Amino acid sequence: MKYYNYIIGLSLAATTLFSCDNSNGKADGYGNFEATEITVSAENNGKLMQFEVNEGDQLMKETFIGYIDTIPLALQREQLKVSKEVISSKSKGVLSQINVLNAKLKTANTNKTRSENLIKDNAGTQKQLDDVKGEIDVIKNQIRSVEIQNAPVVNELRSIDVQLKQIDDQIEKSKIINPINGTVLTKYSEPGEITSFGRPLYKIADLGTMQLRVYISETQLANIQIGQEVTVKIDAADEMKSYTGKISWIASEAEFTPKIIQTKEERVALVYAVKVDVVNDGSLKIGMPAELWLNNSNTH
């Protein structure tokens, strides 16, 4: 019995030793590197007059890449400006009528005041005052009539102003401006091609910092937190190459392990996705497999 208990004790000790040794030397998680990719698309229709970008180029944010032909838009703008001048001339004619009528109204109001004063002094008649009031009513009606006639002209001028702003916006969007610092991954168009709104021009991603997406089990959640430093390893020529990474995101919901995980047993397990930011020294590529090693996993 003592011998049996001794054997059991040795077995438990061995089990404890290996369980503390990071699951027999296995990594805490496996995954692939990814980056936030942005597809830059055309924001206008027309010919690509200039498009200076090639795959592999390092581009800075706000860099001018090229532009789409703006001649048709410029011609539309000139046509609208001419229309606005013609309509404005009509509006000026209507406004001059209103100015004349306002002058008459001012004179009529002066005559009204004079007539009222004459009546007070018993030097005028009520008929004279009534005639002046009638004249004022006629002039006011004439002003309202002219203003109603001028309303469509004013609305048309406003409409043209809106169209001019829209064209100015389209001309501005004909410029191709790079949105982020990054590396050009794919080029979809060439100078001289006809493009259209929403058509992809090129894809770019910031490869300076890569994200390793790995999957961990629920039992490992207690050992990680956002901002925690971890070790990331990739395959190299002779041995694994190590990087220092920082956990930037932890999924709030579990999911089934994706098929990229090697074993069938692991693929059917429920796991949590985790993203680890790793500074790229130029060796890390999108889609490259890597291992996650928790820095506290060997401290048992």
Is pLDDT above 80 for 113? Answer: yes
Q: What is the pLDDT of residue 263?
A: 52
Q: What DSSP state is assigned to residue 281?
A: -
Q: With pLDDT > 90 as the criterion, what percentage of the chain qualifies? A: 51
58 alpha-carbon distance from chain centroid: 21
How many CB atoms are located within 10 Å of the residue 257 CB? 19
How many CB atoms are located within 10 Å of the residue 155 CB? 10
Average predicted confidence (pLDDT) for the chain: 84
Residue 127: which pLDDT band, with cuts at 50, 70 and 90? confident
How many CB atoms are located within 10 Å of the residue 173 CB? 17
- 295 within 8 A of 225, measured Cβ to Cβ: no
Please tell me the distance from the alpha carbon of residue 277 to that of residue 116, in angstroms, as a whole number.
89
Domains of the chain: 26-68+177-300 (2.40.30.170), 71-173 (1.10.287)
Residue type, 137: D
Q: What is the pTM of this model?
A: 0.64
Lowest mean pLDDT among 17-31, 74-88, 90-104, 151-165: 17-31
Residue 222, token pair as written in the block: 């207690």
Is pLDDT above 70 for 16? Answer: no
Is pLDDT above 60 for 22? Answer: no
Residue type, 180: I
Is pLDDT above 90 for 189? Answer: yes
Q: With pLDDT > 70 as the criterion, what percentage of the chain qualifies? A: 85
Q: What is the pLDDT of residue 11?
A: 37
Q: What is the pLDDT of residue 119?
A: 85
- Which of 27, 44, 51 lies closest to 193, judged by CA? 51
Q: What is the pLDDT of residue 7?
A: 34
Phi, psi of 239 (to 5 degrees): -145, 175
Residue 10: which pLDDT band, with cuts at 50, 70 and 90? very low
State the Cα torsion 235-239-244-250 to the nearest 10°.
40
Rounded to an integer, the average pLDDT of 14-31 is 56
- 66 within 8 A of 52, measured Cβ to Cβ: yes
Q: What is the pLDDT of residue 193?
A: 96
pLDDT in tens, 197-229: 999 999 999 999 999 999 888 888 888 999 999
Q: What DSSP state is assigned to residue 263?
A: S
Is pLDDT above 80 for 289? Answer: yes
From the CA atom positions of the chain, what is the Rg in Å?
40
How many CB atoms are located within 10 Å of the residue 276 CB? 27
Residue 115: which pLDDT band, with cuts at 50, 70 and 90? confident
Q: What is the pLDDT of residue 118?
A: 86
